[in-house]
Amino acid sequence: MNAYRDQYATLFHGGKDVVLLAISADSVETLASWAKDADFPFTFLSDAHGDAGKLYGAWLPEHQLDNRSLFVVGPNGKVTYRATPFREVDPTAYEELGAAVKAAAGGPTSSGY
C-alpha cells in the first residue's frame, strides 16, 4: 500500500476521476487506524467475509484472506485490466497499472453498471 500512496499522483491522477479501493479482510477499524497512521489518501474496504474477494477470485478460504490481485474497472463498469496476482514488489507492475488506468480513463464513458 505504501507504493500506491507514494505513486498516487502519477498512478491515479491524484484521485481525479480515478478511484482506488484497497480491499482486505481486516476490520474497518483496523483499516481506518492504519490509513490514519500511514496517511493513505484512498479508501479501504473491509472484506471480512470475502464477499468481494469471492466475486473476483481473490478470496483464499484456507487463510480467510484476499490474495494480492488487482482489477481496473472502466467508466462503463467493465474490467479493462487484471493482474492476478499483482506483483507488488516489481516496479514494472506499477508502470503497467499506470498505463492501464490511463487507458481506462480515456475510454468510452457510455452505459452503466
Partner 1 sequence: MKLARWAAAAWALGVWTAPAAAQQEQGPTVGQRAPDFALPAATRAGTQARPVRLRDFKGKTVVLAFFYKARTKG
In the complex, which residues of this chain contact partner 1 (CB under 8 A)? Answer: 1-4, 12, 17-26, 28-32, 34-36, 39-47, 51-53, 55-58, 65-75, 77-82, 84-86, 88-89, 97, 101, 104-105, 109, 112-113
The dihedral sign for the CA sequence 11, 73, 39, 92 = negative
- For residue 41, the minimal CB distance to partner 1 (Å) is 7
By beta-carbon proximity to partner 1, the closer residue of 9 and 28 is 28
- Is-cis flag, bond preceding 85, omega within 30? yes
Closest residue by Cα to residue 13 from 42, 45, 37, 35: 42
- For residue 35, the minimal CB distance to partner 1 (Å) is 4
Closest residue by Cα to residue 1 from 64, 85, 68, 74: 68
| Structure-block grid coordinates of residue 18 | 480515478
By beta-carbon proximity to partner 1, the closer residue of 80 and 95 is 80
- For residue 9, the minimal CB distance to partner 1 (Å) is 14
Largest CA distance in the chain: 40
- For residue 14, the minimal CB distance to partner 1 (Å) is 13
